[in-house]
Structure 1
Amino acid sequence: MNTSLDHLHPNQSGTIIAIEAGAELTRRMSALGLRLGRRVEVLRIAPWQGPLQIRVGHTELMIRRTDAAKINIQLSA
């Protein structure tokens, strides 16, 4: 099943299959390790539409929900 990163719940994970963002945002995400084929896990979600805390490899990041919505994920089984 495919969805966007902002729809995952804590402890859910998946693989990045597409990033639907402009060139600048895609470059910034890539520099943070958010690239096609990478596994992403949601650790926590801030209330009131706040950011998501995610893990990519051994790195933990905070990402805005609007940016997370641009990352398409294939859920892990």
Structure 2
Amino acid sequence: MTVHQTASETSTHELRLGNAPRGFIGTIVALQPDIAGAADSGHELERHLLEMGFTEGARVEILHQGAIQRDPIAVRVDNITIAVRRREAMAVVVK
């Protein structure tokens, strides 16, 4: 990796769950709540996501998107279906 490359440039197959299209199936790589832009503090958001089952290595699938600005989104995490706001889903890095 050169000095000018960012982490996002080195991992071309990773994306934010909030940017994933309906029907996307992938695996959670990491939680990065500090840059998600959510109203909660990064620590609170990370704890909230972990409590709902958003853990590293979990299988995720985008099932549905809301009619207004595609928010909220219905996500299946392993065997649990959860509705989350898109801004919260931006804290979840998937591949």
- Fold agreement, TM-score > 0.5: yes
In 2: Cα distance, 1:61 partner to 1:69 partner: 15
Give every structure 1 segment of 4 or more consecutive aligned residues whose post-TM-superposition deviation is greater than 3 Å: none
| Corresponding residue for residue 31 of structure 2 | 19
User: Equivalents in 1 of 2:22, 2:81: separation in Å?
Assistant: 13
Residues in 1 aligned to 2:79 and 2:93: alpha-carbon distance in whole angstroms: 20
User: How far did residue 18 of structure 1 move?
Assistant: 1.3
Map 1:60-71 to 2 at 5 A: 60-71=81-92
Number of aligned residue pairs = 74
Identity %: 30
Alignment TM-score, normalising by the size of structure 1: 0.88
Q: How does 1:37-48 map to 2 (within 5 A)?
A: 37-48=57-68
The answer to whether the aligner puts 1:53 opposite 2:74 as a matched pair is yes
**Structure label with greater radius of gyration:** 2
- Name the structure 2 match of 1:33: 53
What are structure 1's unaligned runs of at least 5 residues? none
Q: Secondary structure at the match of 1:72?
A: strand
Provide the C-alpha distance between the structure 2 equivalents of 1:58 and 1:38, rounded to a whole number of angstroms: 10
Higher helix share: 2
Q: Distance in 2 between matches of 1:54 and 1:7?
A: 13
The CA distance in 2 between the partners of 1:65 and 1:10, in whole Å, is 12
Which structure's relative contact order is higher, taking Cα pairs within 8 Å and 6+ residues apart? 1
Aligned residue number for residue 9 of structure 1 = 21
How far off its partner does 1:65 sit?
Answer: 0.5
Deviation (angstroms), 1:44: 0.5
